[in-house]
A and B are shown apart, each in its own frame.
Chain A
Amino acid sequence: MRRLFVGSLIVGLSACQGFISEPGQEPGGGGSGSGASGGSGAGSSTTKDALVPLPRVARLTHAQWENTVADLLYLSAPTGKSSGFPADPSTGGYLFDHDASNLSVDQSLWGTYQRAAEEIAEAVVGDAAQLAKILPPDTGDANARARAFVEELGKRAYRRPLTTAEIDRHMLIYQGAAGLFPSKPAFEAGIQLVLTAILQSPHFLYRIEQSTKADGGAIPVTPWEMASRLSYTLWNTMPDDLLFGAAGANELSSEPQVEAQARRLLADPRADKVLQRFHDAVWELEKLDSISVVSSVFPDAPADLKHLAVEETERFIQFIFRGGGGYRDLLTSNVTPVTAETAKIYGLTGNFGSGWTEATLNPTQRKGIFTQIGFLAANSTGVDPDPIHRGAFLARRVTCIPLSFPAGAVPPLPAAGGKTNREVVASHTETEEECAGCHKQKINPYGFTFENYDAIGAWRTTDNGFAVDATASPLIEGEATPVSGAVELLDKIAESPAAHDCYARFWTEYAFGRSRVKQDDGVIRYLGQSSLEGASLEDLIVKLVTTRAFRHRSTEEMP
């Protein structure tokens, strides 16, 4: 997963050298800020039924491997073995960690897979209670029992039924194991070697889609493949027995069948982690871990501000998701979990205990996730608000306006010297033509609307002795739109089709495991419109996984 800390002196003050697309995004847009389509008019050439070639073999991410091993073997907790795996390289321009075209098995990873498989099989077979969870009943015929084991565990491990030839081949492994485990009875030895082999099989390590039969210009994935698409998208792990059962009964073919299973999966707590993982990446929540305020300026700030910010953000996302809320609620809800310490920052009065409780914040000051402590404090200098990074974030991740990076070194902001923070930033970034192109139109107007929030996220009305000016004209639907501050900005963004398209774009990239391409725009527009019309997060995700694109393969293959 590519993380998005700002990297150097020269990206601190983003300037425009012309309008380029983000990696993975089509060039175009001409500065209109027109959201996911990049203003390319893609909607006219694509529909929500458009299909894009995808890899046929997708290696499990390390997190998926951990989850899958634990679920396959009914372990009480993940093994932790993947901590020794070489970390997968990130994919330039892709926010998540599961771009299949970038996930391979080299010598280093293969060696760690081998050792993990050996150790896990040894531990499972050496633990009678654990072994009993995956062994078929003992009918007195060891060979028959082993064959049933191969058939049953193999189906769950490979996420499809094994052919007779495959079962026979695994039985050869079983039968050849006796001399290789001299201290074990032949049956346990065989089971251990088969389990070791299964955990190293490409059919376990990869999600492999073999379907080729086209129907109506597209290739429907098989019910077994659909079960894996659903479970890895919504749970980040293998299908459960109910999902396998639906696949076996051919009940994952129609849209209503897929919807029913998707809603079941989303109701499970495992879906919370996926929601969190998605927003971690899109909203750069890792930045919250680096929140650091200058204590001499904020002597009353909680010592563990960053931890409080992280927990509030996680709880808020879950609160909206489980409460049936949608993207509009993430942007505009003024109800959020607070503790006594964060309540103080929010200017709340009353008694708040050490735990978390939901509170209603002042609606004239707070609207959604971007007026909460996490975003505001993570995008500050520790002393002052940071309108450049607040603004650049809104442009890139909320309205999907591509920004470029300046070509040369950028000098630091000058000292305030009797000016407001806004005045300092404006004078530094809006006077030179090279910088002003982006800052004046695309970055600063978003960021300046947040000037009422100080470096820890508290409301302020003065800055350096002057009244705060949070008015600006940020781009909404490609038009400079006057707003009085962040609250009005977020209200307008919440009604902006481009912003909902932007959010839908990231979900599409997540579900398809790759950066957006033009042909995705039909799906993105469909989802964006649904979100704009009030779809809950659950409904939005269900709509995504029931699209033709999610349930089929393209008849074209990747190069």
Chain B
Amino acid sequence: MKVSRRIVLKGIGGVALALPLLESFRPRKAQAADPVTPPFVIFLRQACGVAAAGNTGEIGAEPERFWPKDYGALTADNVSGRALDELTDHLGSLLVVKNVNMQNFNYGDGHARGALQGLTARGPTVENAAGSSEAAGESIDHRIGAQLNPEGRDSLFLYAGANSGWLGGACISYRGAAQRRSALHDPWSVYQQLIGGSAGLSPEARQRLVGRQQSVNDLVREQLSTVMTHPALSGSDKTRLKLHLDAVRDLELTLTCKLNENDELKLQGDAPGFASNDGFQVVKTVKLHMDLAALAVACGYTRSVAIQVGNGNDGSIRYPDHETGQLMSNNFHYISHRRESHDANGTVIPGSDYLHHKVDRQFGKMFKHLLDRLSAFDSAEGQKMLFHGLAVWYNDNGNGPPHSANHIPYVIGGSAGGQFKQGQYLAAADSSNTKNHAKMLNTIGAAMGLKNSAGGPLDDFGDPSLPKGRLTELLV
């Protein structure tokens, strides 16, 4: 792997001591071929809306527990009592954006509409298909990886939660229309993906592994190429085999992303594994994913990471209650509906608006972990890594009942190298409820360096029927 810039670990601070894997994030061999640290983005997706002010049939008047109190500077007082006060340590690096509104595409379900549109800004391939829906286009995380990643690497798509339920589990990242990407669940697998092979090898053993893989890869490439010449093969078959052929990559010898052996063992032991519904395990998995996402962008593996928490409606995870230290009695989807039900039936859950707020806080705590990680690296330019990129905590929906497509929460950490405003809470300048969510994705994509069809900053990503453009009011 080629490393284009110098990444050095920030000196020991309050955060660093509390983070068990941080020390090992020091690149084993820093290189400084390129003095410019390119921007990156790490998305954290939450489902089911946030505990915003509103009136519900189940609870009645629900107070505001998410958004800051006033537009303007993000201060501790402004976010006090709101879920965002979990991020008080990073307020100066945050931009909180209201009035981001998704299109009411006819997905037949608010969760499908939010989850599948979230990173694609696209409608469904088949209308009104609800849990069988697919998005009709590529997602921005994939576009960034496909166009900007070094050496043709895919962007990372990471998932925490059960591989089942609404929309089938991991569902937010798309290679193209109806081409959903698979996600890595197990942090240990993610780490081995970063280093390009099995962990725990000496340099000599790794050299031999490289030789073995080259020998096997040569055979596999020959076999795939031969199969692809079959005269009766369909275009669909060829497309899938071509994807496979492109994925057969010879192992790289440089190991900038490598942890030390003790931390490799620790990560292997800590990695909670696959398809858990246990909120403690999920939170642990998400934090490990964040550790590895930070490592991946810091060592130049990828310019884009998407982390999905929970399936299409996050309908099976019971999150930890930070007040009791126990798991909540109900899954997040039930809580977000205020009922013990995946729909509008079922027994009302007393205090579920406050439980929803507690789930928001859990996401706030997880997002803080990511911000801490990105703040613990210094770049060659002497900035925190967070300055160079964006960490984006967003949601599928605007609120609990009725899972609005409007006021989708966007909490953005970092500045993409000084491009984004920081330390502020503002509303997108479009008139209220304007469907400007695609503009948000264009703004992020353009900040990463993506271009439109005319070669200018990206402004045409998403469904062609949606207004083009960027939310320039977010920019410095």
In the complex where A92-B125, A176-B215 touch, is A381 in contact with B109 (Cβ < 8 A)? no
Residue B465 lies at the interface, judged by CB distance under 8 Å to chain A: no
A1 sits at the interface (CB 8 A): yes
* Residues of chain B within 8 A of A413, CB atoms compared: 344-345
Asked whether A57 lies within 8 Å of B240 as measured between CB atoms, the reply is yes
A7 at the interface (CB under 8 A from B): yes
Q: Is the CB of B343 within 8 A of A107?
A: no
Say yes or no: A12-B344 contact (C-beta < 8 A), given A7-B315, A286-B164: yes
Within the complex, the shortest CB–CB distance from B234 to chain A, in Å, comes to: 4
Beta-carbon contact of B247 and A412 below 8 Å: no
CB of B180 within 8 Å of the partner chain:
yes
Task: Give min CB distance, B271 to chain A, whole Å.
Answer: 9
- Decide: A105 near B128, CB < 8 A? Known: A197-B215, A382-B347, A383-B347: no
A530 at the interface (CB under 8 A from B): no
Indicate if B402 sits at the interface (CB-CB under 8 A): yes
Say whether B247 contacts A107, CB under 8 Å.
yes
A109 touches B182 (CB 8 A): yes
Bitwise, B41-63 to A at CB < 8 A (1) or not (0) is: 00000000000000001100000
Nearest chain-B residue to A54 (Cβ)?
A: B234
**Stretch from A16-24, A40-48, A140-148, A314-322 at the B interface:** A16-24
Q: A104-B244, A107-B249, A112-B189 are in contact. Are A8 and B128 (CB under 8 A)?
A: no
**Which residues in chain B, 170-218, are within 8 Å of chain A measured between CB atoms?**
170-171, 178, 180-186, 188-189, 192-193, 196-198, 208-209, 211-213, 215-216
**Residue from A89, A112, A176, A406 whose CB has the most chain B CB atoms within 10 Å:** A89
A53 at the interface (CB under 8 A from B): yes
A101 contacts chain B at the CB level, 8 A cutoff = yes
Query: Mostly helix, strand, loop or mixed at chain A's interface?
Result: loop
Interface flag for A132 (CB, 8 Å)? no
State whether A412 touches B58 (Cβ < 8 A): yes
Q: Which parts of A337-357 form the interface with B (CB within 8 Å)?
A: none
Complex interface: chain B residues within 8 A of A88 (CB): 182
Candidates A9, A170, A197; contact of B402 at CB < 8 Å: A9
Query: How far apart sit A200 and B246, CA to CA, in the bound complex (Å)?
Result: 14
Check B166–A3 contact: CB distance below 8 A: yes
Contact A3–B343 (Cβ < 8 Å): no
In the complex, what residues of A have CB within 8 A of residue B313's CB? 5, 7-8
A311: CB under 8 A from chain B? no
B427 at the interface (CB under 8 A from A): no
Residues in A whose Cβ lies below 8 Å from that of B180? 89-90
User: Interface size on B (CB < 8 Å)?
Assistant: 94
Smallest Cβ-Cβ distance to A212: which chain B residue? B232
Which A residues are in CB contact (< 8 Å) with B150?
none
Chain B proximity of A15: nearest CB distance (Å): 11
CA distance A7 to B198 in the complex (A): 39
A129 touches B (CB below 8 Å): no
Say yes or no: A6 contacts B248, CB within 8 Å: no
Q: Is the CB of B340 within 8 A of A57?
A: no
Which of the segments A79-87, A271-279, A459-467 contacts the partner chain? A79-87
CB <8 Å contact, A83 and B273: yes
Judge whether A93 is part of the interface by a CB distance below 8 angstroms.
yes
A57 touching B197, Cβ below 8 Å: no
Closest to A193 in B: B212
Q: Are A107 and B347 in contact (CB under 8 A)?
A: no
Which A residues touch B215, using CB under 8 A? 173, 176-177, 180, 193, 197
Cα A292 to Cα B316 with chains together (Å): 13
Q: How many angstroms from the CA of A115 to the CA of B194 in the assembled complex?
A: 13
Instruction: Give A158's nearest chain B residue, CB to CB.
Output: B223
In chain A, positions 86-132 with a C-beta closer than 8 Å to chain B are 86-90, 92-93, 101, 103-112, 114-115, 117-119
Instruction: Report Cα–Cα, A22/B211, bound state, in Å.
Output: 50
- Report which of B106, B170, B343, B344 forms a contact with A89, defined as CB distance below 8 A: B170
Q: Tell me whether A114 and B197 are in contact in the complex, defined as CB-CB below 8 angstroms, given that A87-B169, A108-B154 are known contacts.
A: yes
Q: A405 contacts B341, CB within 8 Å?
A: no
Chain B stretch 99-147: residues in CB contact (< 8 A) with chain A: 106, 108-112, 125-126, 128-134
**Is A201 an interface residue, CB under 8 A from the partner?**
yes
Contact with B182, one of A7, A108, A203, A386 (Cβ below 8 angstroms):
A108
Does B430 count as interface, using CB distance less than 8 angstroms? Answer: no
Does B401 belong to the interface (CB within 8 Å)?
A: yes
Cα(A1)–Cα(B132), bound, Å: 11
Partner of B213, one of A10, A84, A114, A559: A114
Task: Output the nearest chain A residue to B182 by Cβ-Cβ distance.
Answer: A86
Contact of A115 (CB < 8 Å), options: B197, B235, B347 = B197
In this complex, the interface size class of chain A, counting residues with CB under 8 Å from chain B, is 35 or more
B274 contacts the other chain (CB 8 A): yes
Contact, CB under 8 Å: A53 / B234: yes
Contact across chains for B182 and A202 when beta carbons are under 8 A apart: no
Query: Is A173 a contact partner of B128 (Cβ separation < 8 A)?
Result: no
Smallest CB gap from A297: residue in B: B347
A106 to B153, CA, bound (A): 10
| B342 interface residue (CB < 8 Å to A) | yes
State whether B178 touches A7 (Cβ < 8 A).
no
* B193 and A106 within 8 A (CB): no
Q: Which residues of A contact B244 (CB under 8 A)?
A: 104-106, 110, 202
Question: Quick check: B345 and A104 within 8 Å, CB to CB?
Answer: no
A171-213 residues at the B interface, CB under 8 angstroms: 173, 176-177, 179-182, 193, 196-197, 200-203, 206, 208, 210, 212
Are B163 and A87 in contact, with the CB atoms below 8 A?
yes
A87 proximity list for chain B (CB < 8 A): 159, 163, 169-170, 182-183, 185, 274-275
Residue of B129, B131, B241 touching A57 (CB-CB under 8 A)? B241
Inter-chain contact A404/B110, CB cutoff 8 Å: no
In the complex, residue of chain A having the shortest beta-carbon distance to the beta carbon of B126: A23
* B340 to A, closest residue via Cβ: A382
Bound-state CA distance A110–B221 (Å) is 13
**A 292-340 contacts with B by CB, 8 A:** 292, 294
Q: Is B220 an interface residue (CB 8 A)?
A: yes
Contact B234 A11 (CB under 8 A): no
Chain B residues closer than 8 Å to A386, beta-carbon distance: 345
B350 in the interface (beta carbon within 8 A)? no
Residue contact B111 to A7, C-beta cutoff 8 Å:
yes
Enumerate B340-378 residues with CB–CB distance to A below 8 Å: 340-347
**A208–B129 alpha-carbon span in the complex (Å):** 32
Inter-chain contact B216/A193, CB cutoff 8 Å: yes
Is residue A407 within 8 Å, beta carbon to beta carbon, of the partner chain?
Answer: yes
**Residue A169, interface by CB 8 Å:** yes
In the assembly, what is the distance between CA of A10 and CA of B402, in Å? Answer: 8
| Residue B258 is within 8 A (CB to CB) of chain A in the complex | no
A269 at interface by CB-CB < 8 Å: no
A118 pairs with B182, CB closer than 8 A? no
A137 contacts partner chain B, Cβ-Cβ < 8 Å:
no
A3 pairs with B110, CB closer than 8 A: no
Q: Is B437 an interface residue (CB 8 A)?
A: no
B168 contacts partner chain A, Cβ-Cβ < 8 Å: yes
A86 to B208, CA, bound (A): 26
19 other contacts beyond A87-B159, A107-B193, A405-B109, with CB at 8 A cut-off? A5-B166, A7-B312, A11-B108, A11-B109, A55-B236, A57-B227, A90-B171, A92-B129, A101-B240, A105-B247, A107-B247, A170-B219, A196-B216, A197-B215, A197-B220, A203-B223, A386-B345, A406-B108, A407-B106
- The 10 A-B pairs at the shortest CB distance, nearest first, are namely A12-B343, A90-B168, A89-B180, A405-B108, A558-B234, A86-B182, A412-B344, A12-B344, A105-B244, A110-B247
Sampled A-B contacts (25; CB under 8 Å): A3-B168, A5-B166, A5-B315, A8-B403, A10-B108, A11-B108, A12-B345, A56-B237, A83-B186, A87-B274, A89-B181, A90-B168, A105-B240, A106-B181, A107-B154, A107-B246, A108-B183, A118-B209, A169-B222, A193-B215, A286-B164, A381-B345, A405-B109, A409-B402, A559-B234
